[in-house]
Amino acid sequence: MDRALWISWYNLPGDGRDAYLAWLHGSYLPRILKQPGVLWAAHYASAKIAPHPRIRFTDDKSVPGGTDYILLLGAGNSHPFAKDVRVFVELVPRQPDTDLSDDDRNMLAMRRGERVNIMVEEARVDGPEAAQRAAGTAPGPCIQLGSFNANSFEAELLAWYARWRMPALSKLPGCIGMRKLVSVSGWAKHGVLYEFLSLEARGEHLPTLSKLYPEMEAWTDRFIPKLIHEPGSPNVARRIWPPVKS
């Protein structure tokens, strides 16, 4: 099972963007998929949907602000994403970057505002459309990916997801599934990944949660502003690789 995720959020400059995407999808990611333990890769482009007005964002200037693209890798656990320990002793890039060419390094250097989290799965639920994604493959055509810290409200966060949010998403039309994540490495301690059949399905059905479960709205209104999100979180994005079958 793909219980661990490597997540990169970043921007790209306008110049060279098409060349970068062609390299990433046609060369780099197919090679990454050959790395031991890596089960799948998926690349998403932001849908640029305005955040909910209740969301609070970090004011920590050390947190990079990339939001335009999200790159996900899946593995059974976090260890396939570990660097060679010599990286930290000798300060020399090594596995998985040992075999990178100068062209590869130049392409990777195009990323702007990149931040990375390695997260492991705390819990997951299948949605009504779970059959639309085979086990161990890339997430759905549309994702919503939240990344945040909860500070002193983690017991309430656990209750909110366990007793309401995840059971609610398991019944939501258009939802493939949902995962609650916790961090191994990176600024955000918590993550949540929603998968939908399409951006349109998300837009149609997600707003109905407040109507389907009105008894939870007061709790949600009080709780959500307590979280401190990373830039753009929750990021809503369309999958651009592997291509979505029509």
Is there a domain that residue 53 lies in? yes
Residues above pLDDT 70, as percent of the chain:
93
In which band, very low, low, confident or very high, does the pLDDT at 244 lie, cut at 50, 70 and 90?
very high
Within a domain: 160: yes
Domain count, the chain: 1
pLDDT digits (tens, 9 = 90+) for 45-76: 999 888 788 899 999 999 999 999 999 999 99
Q: How confident is the model at residue 12 (pLDDT cuts 50, 70, 90)?
A: very high
- Give the dihedral of Cα atoms 43, 45, 51, 56; nearest 10 deg: 50
Q: Report whether 112 contacts 68 (CB < 8 A).
A: no
Per-residue model confidence as pLDDT tens digits over 95-152: 555 567 889 989 999 999 999 999 999 999 999 999 998 877 999 999 999 999 998 8
* CATH number of the structural domain spanning residue 77: 3.30.70.100
Query: Strand, coil or helix: what is 122?
Result: strand
pLDDT digits (tens, 9 = 90+) for 183-212: 999 999 999 999 999 999 999 999 998 887
* Euclidean distance between CA atoms 180 and 121, whole angstroms: 6
Report if residue 17 sits inside a domain: yes
Whether pLDDT at 160 is above 70: yes
Q: Residue 70: beta bridge partners?
A: 9, 44
Residue 246 lies in a domain: no
Q: What is the pLDDT of residue 84?
A: 66
Does any domain span residue 123? Answer: yes
pTM value? 0.93
Own/partner pairs, 49-52, CB within 8 angstroms, 24+ separation:
49/236, 51/229, 51/232, 51/233, 51/234, 52/224
Number of neighbouring beta carbons within 10 Å of residue 225:
13
What's the domain range around 157? 4-241
